[in-house]
Structure 1
Amino acid sequence: MTIAEYSIKNKVISWMFLVILAVGGVVSFADLGRLEDPAFTVKDAMVITSYPGATSTEVEEELTYPLEKAIRQLPYLDKVTSTSSAGLSQIMVSMKMDYGPDELPQIWDELRRKVNDLEPSLPPGVNPVQVMDDFGDVYGVMLMVTGENYSYVELKRYVDYLTRELEVVDGVGKISLAGDQQEQLFVEMSLKRVAALNLDMNTVAGLLAQQNAVISAGEVTVNSQTLTLRPTGELNSIETFENLIIHGRDTGNLIRLKDVATVTRDVQEVPSNLLNYNGEPALNLGISFSSGVNVVKVGEAVDARLAELENIKPAGIKIHTLYNQAKEVEQSVNGFVLSLAEAVGIVIVVLLFTMGLRSGVIIGAVLLLTVMGTFILMSIYDIELQRISLGALIIALGMLVDNAIVVVEGILVGMQRGRTKVQAAKDIVEQTKWPLLGATVIAIVAFAPIGLSPDATGEFMGSLFWVLCFSLFLSWITAITLTPFLADLLLSSKTSEKQQNNDDPYKGVLFVVFGRLLKFCLRFRMLTVAVMIMMLAGAFYGFSLVKNSFFPPSNTPMFYVDMWMPEGTDIRDTYKQVQKVEDFLLDKEQVEFVTSTTGQGLQRFSLTYSPEKTLRSVCSAASSSG
């Protein structure tokens, strides 16, 4: 018994297979993880070191060059780029594309050891070296917090509370803050007062540096209970600082800090990063997702938690959404569902005019079941719905119907020749199952170099190959099993009653035209070969004109503007120029919002976005069109 006969005669098994594909596909589709881009490891790390007071030349010669020399000893290195500015060294370390997420943690540990071994030989005054290996983290939700008449300190207090509340939402991986201004106490000493009281500035500075230090004061045992002694006198307000005794404890002539200095509280005088949202100072909250989650559901959970906290939000504070990956992913998935529905509808409509309504329904149903089965396999192998896998499914939609069309068309031809539906299904499946498998394997192998590539291409594009492999191979299985079964159920047996007339089933207009073209090509072989060679050469030439890009462009209507001021420009002057650009953009009717960052780039909210390094003369603006 052939597989076609088995599928037709064992209807319970065929129905069970059909129901498993349909129900399992729907359940798997609902449970699949959803991302904007596939998981991809950015193979870059930043080595950042501050050298206060040093010029850019001194930073380059005394700090950046020795660090680069040590880093270049790593065998995994691809390239090293560095930026040396006054008081700051920034080194971007890029590893070869061959290394994936399993090897990189060990590589970053080796990088840290190289850097740490060099630290003792660096000049005095150099601060500890920082190695940022999470440089490639993507923050799928970007919130901008603004507040009219609120200071940075007050905004920061609310953002800290918001962070603690959002960190416990299921699926949230990490939350990062940008645009924060460090709060400081400024002690402005009067040289005249210090000199009049015969005080030493270094003594006063040393006394201030010792304050609020956590030092063990010992323990005492009382009735077998150990009690820890903790001295009081913490300086936790401006008043306590002002009343700090700096001289006279031994003489009784007490001199307090307020006698020689003015103490004020404010943010740092020269900021390192300034953020604006529609012209208002803002703090940026970046939320990244845990791996393998459904970002649509996590995004909904974050929105629900923000709605719950709305009642306790201080009046005047506003939370704006700069970027929401969950909504982008939801639109992409909805777009695919629409494409799938359109594909099934188009198949039915087109085949209605060529093969009949029932044939179109059969092939459309097989197409839908094949896609549902692909969802099951994607769930088993932990392949999320994201830009690449959705693209693979859309590519597959045009190929999945081929096998089913061959089988249905063969059954119709067999029935016209007087065969029963079972006989016609048996004949066409036995004749074509191995050729169809060969064609399917060739189509799969065509994408193998992408999916099986050991470098970054395979890591990013791997799901393209596997989804096509699952769907195309499954289309062959459904073509030789479910297609004969559905044909036996849905095709009319009246066709076989015309078996007495032995008319050629291939005498239609399309077949006649195609037959004449085929005969012409066989008759003029050299011309046919020459045309094929010319077409191949044209294809190679056309391929050379195709733009090369590793990451596909984003469909989000967001535009970036990077602006560099002359090196050495104060960040506050750069900020003034940014405000002019903001005002210009906000005057445009098509612009929905404008976000700017001065001193460094925004946090990475998309895999294709690469933040600018920390420079006082650098600023970026992001605007969205409505």
Structure 2
Amino acid sequence: AAFQANALTPLLALVALLLGLFAVLVTPREEEPQINVTMANVMIAFPGASSADVQNMVARPAEQVLSQIAGIEHTYSVARPGMAVLTVQFKVGVARTEALVRLYDVLNANQDWLPAGLGALPPIVKPMGIDDVPVLGITLWSRDMLSASDLERVASTLEAELKSVAGTREVQTTGGPGRAVHVWLEPDRLRERGVDLLGLKASLGAANLAMPSGAVVDTAGDAGRMLSVESGEFLGSAEEVGSLVVGVHQGKPVYLREVARVEAGAQLPQRYVWFTPGPAAQQAGQVFPAVTISVTKKPGENAVDVARAVRARVEALRNTVIPANVEATVTRDYGETAAEKANKLIQKLAFATGSVILLVGLALGRREAVIVGAAVILTLTATLFASWAWGFTLNRVSLFALIFSIGILVDDAIVVVENIHRLGNDLAQRAPGLQQLVAVDVLHHHNGVV
């Protein structure tokens, strides 16, 4: 009774309402909840080994080592020539940091699980989680049928620009073959000049190297300075590769271009990306070479805001970084779909709350409807603010849970209000002076039953 009569009660209710509205505006929105489903790929290189050797000598022993980790759901491996890829999936709910600490701890404690001198390289761990799902996919293609290699050069420049957008984590290009310098050896010329393959390979490796060679103290100025000295440099073009000396024949140097054809070009593609315009386009049905840029967000960032910022940045780079003859089509927008679904569920939540208030008003009266409506709305707004304060997001699961909880929330309140309404009317007819005690009596009786 003291709380109901207190002048601060309406103010507290208003504060709870405003905090809930604030939480709806600022809480990050996503399609799926932030569930800890930590996975990691452990890649172990075994150069020169066949798939069978990789499986028997690396993959199977590695599975036995990784099975020691606590909290693992399953472990499986893929063996291919020169590489073993083991996927470790932890149980749902295991924190990402804790899972990775366990993984690294087991790998470091079992560094001797392979025979010394086998030739396998140290394992490389690539963690994966819910935040590795791209929030935006941008496909670059050209109506002029530009190759994937040409589009990849545009994408590499665009990557650097998109990484500067706040909230982005990784920006990667799929479908680009990569650049390389191809050396096509000519056996006849190698034999004529007495150059062997092993020596040629060693010459290439030694030339493509830069390393520190010491330091020099400069005492010319008032304050002494130490200058680092490096020797060698990395090869930067096909011309530099062709000018390498790979041997000596009859007292003259033998250049690589004399025994091989050196060309700069694209690597052999590992993945292909093709783009087909929709029915409304002029080139509907045609297939164009393309590359796709995928953007992921940092944990806790709003997917809607990150996707919008990246799209705005892409639009600002048209006709500058992105040439006029290259199209940038958004093929995946996780932020747009997340915002659409979250807004739709918020509308359903408001509709469900309004329906409850309307039904109570029709059945019991306006005063009872106001009481139930205030209780439901303030409870929901306080819950939304608490979820934002604890770092949760607005997603399909959380909003469905709120909609479902409305029935549970109002069920008890309706029973209480209905009893107050019924007993209050009966008591008003018998003893008008005792009507104010009805609510306390009914609440006490109802809580005792519960």
TM-score normalised per structure 2? 0.84
Q: For the residues of structure 1 that align with 2:106 and 2:130, how far apart are their CA atoms? A: 16
Q: Is the 8 A contact 2:135 2:333 kept in 1?
A: yes
Deviation sequence 1:67-122 (CA, Å, 0-9, x none): 22333344554433223234432222234557433521221212331564335536
Q: Aligned residue for 1:299? A: 307
Q: C-alpha distance in 2, partners of 1:368/1:98?
A: 31
Label 1:122 to 1:311 Cα distance change in 2 as closer, same or farther (>3 A).
same
SS in structure 1 opposite 2:12?
helix
Residue-by-residue CA offset, 1:262-315 (whole Å, 9 max, x unaligned): 01122223x333333334333333322222232222222222222222342212
* Structure 1 residues 111-130: aligned runs within 5 Å: 111-114=106-109, 116-119=111-114, 121=116, 123-124=118-119, 126-130=120-124
Selected match of 2:141 from 123, 141, 147: 147
Match of 1:597 in 2: none
**Measured at CA, do residues 65 and 370 of structure 1 come closer, stay the same or move farther in structure 2, by a change above 3 Å?**
closer
Please give the alpha-carbon distance, in whole angstroms, between the structure 2 residues aligned to 1:422 and 1:370. Answer: 33
Change in Cα spacing, 1:437 to 1:192, as seen in structure 2 (3 Å) is farther
Aligned to 1:488: none
Contact 1:139–1:286, Cα closer than 8 Å, also in 2:
no
- 1:31: Cα distance to partner? 2.2
**Of 8, 22, 42, which residue of structure 2 is paired with 1:47?**
42
State the Cα distance separating 1:339 from its structure 2 match. Answer: 1.1
- Tell me what 1:236 maps to: 236
Q: Deviations over 1:327-368 (max 9, x none)?
A: 222122211221122123322433343223454344334322
| 1:402–1:122 CA distance, 2 compared to 1 (3 A) | farther
Give the whole-Å Cα distance in 2 for the aligned partners of 1:207 and 1:316.
42
Tell me the residue number matched to 1:560: none
Deviation at 1:257, TM superposition (A): 1.7
Aligned partner of residue 212 in structure 2, secondary structure: coil
Gap change, CA 1:300 and 1:78, over 3 Å in 2 = closer
* Counterpart check, 1:282 vs 2:290: yes
Amino acid at match of 1:342: F
Q: Helix, strand or coil for the counterpart of 1:210?
A: helix
One-letter amino acid matched to 1:259: E
Matches within 5 A, 1:202-351: 202-222=198-218, 223=220, 224-230=224-230, 235-248=235-248, 251=251, 253-269=252-268, 271-278=269-276, 279-312=287-320, 313-351=322-360
Distance change in 2, residues 1:221/1:103 (3 Å):
closer
CA contact (8 A) 2:45 2:83 kept: yes
| More off after superposition, 281-290 vs 114-123 | 114-123
Contact map agreement 1:35 1:329 (CA 8 A) in 2: yes
- Closer, same or farther: CA 73–122 of 1 in aligned 2, 3 Å: farther
Residues 237 and 264, structure 2, Cα contact 8 Å, conserved in 1: no
- 1:355 maps to amino acid: L
Amino acid at match of 2:272: L
Aligned to 2:169: 173
Q: What is the aligned partner in structure 2 of residue 603 from structure 1?
A: none
Quote the offset at 1:52 in angstroms.
4.2
Contact 2:31–2:395 (CA under 8 A) maintained in structure 1: yes
SS in 1 for 2:381: helix
- Give the letter for the 2:23 counterpart: S
Partner AA of 2:273 in structure 1: L
Which amino acid in 2 is paired with 1:318?
E
Q: Is the 8 A contact 2:210 2:232 kept in 1?
A: no
Between the aligned partners of 2:183 and 2:163, the Cα distance in structure 1 is 37
**Closer, same or farther: CA 96–38 of 1 in aligned 2, 3 Å:** closer
Q: Does 1:196 align with 2:192?
A: yes
User: Structure 2 counterpart of 1:427, which letter?
Assistant: V
Change (3 A) 1:219 1:138: closer
Q: Write the distance in 2 (CA, Å) between the matches of 1:225 and 1:422.
A: 97
CA contact under 8 A between 2:38 and 2:128: conserved in structure 1? Answer: no
Deviation at 1:154, TM superposition (A): 3.4
My pick for the range that moved more, 362-371 or 72-81, is 72-81
Name the Cα RMSD after superposition. 3.1
Residues of 2 paired with 1:363 and 1:137: CA distance? Answer: 40
Which amino acid is 2:150 matched to? E
TM-score normalised over the length of structure 1: 0.62
Letter in 2 for 1:345: G
Amino acid corresponding to residue 36 of structure 1 in structure 2: E
Q: Distance in 2 between matches of 1:422 and 1:362?
A: 23
Q: How big is the shift at 1:16?
A: 1.0
Query: Compared with structure 1, are the counterparts of its residues 172 and 142 closer, same or farther at alpha carbon in structure 2 (3 Å cutoff)?
Result: same
List alignment gaps of at least 5 residues for structure 1: 440-626
Distance 1:96 1:410 in 2: 48
Task: Assess if the C-alpha contact under 8 Å between 1:44 and 1:136 holds in 2.
Answer: no
Match of 2:280 in 1: none
Distance 1:322 1:280 in 2: 14
Could you tell me the percent identity over the aligned residues? 24
- CA distance in 2 between counterparts of 1:42 and 1:122 reads 36
Code of the aligned partner of 2:239: E
Counterpart residue identity of residue 354, structure 2: G
Given that 2:75 and 2:86 are in contact with CA atoms closer than 8 Å, whether structure 1 keeps it comes out as yes
Structure 1's 434 and 327: CA in aligned 2 closer, same or farther, altered over 3 A? farther
Which AA in structure 2 matches 1:247? G
The one of 3, 8, 12 aligned to 1:13: 8
Secondary structure in 1 aligned to 2:96?
coil
Aligned to 1:509: none
Aligned to 1:522: none
Deviation at residue 436 of structure 1 after TM alignment: 4.5
CA distance in 1, matches of 2:182, 2:202: 15
Which of 378, 383, 388 pairs up with 1:369? 378
Between 1 and 2, higher relative CO (CA 8 Å, sep ≥ 6) is seen in: 2
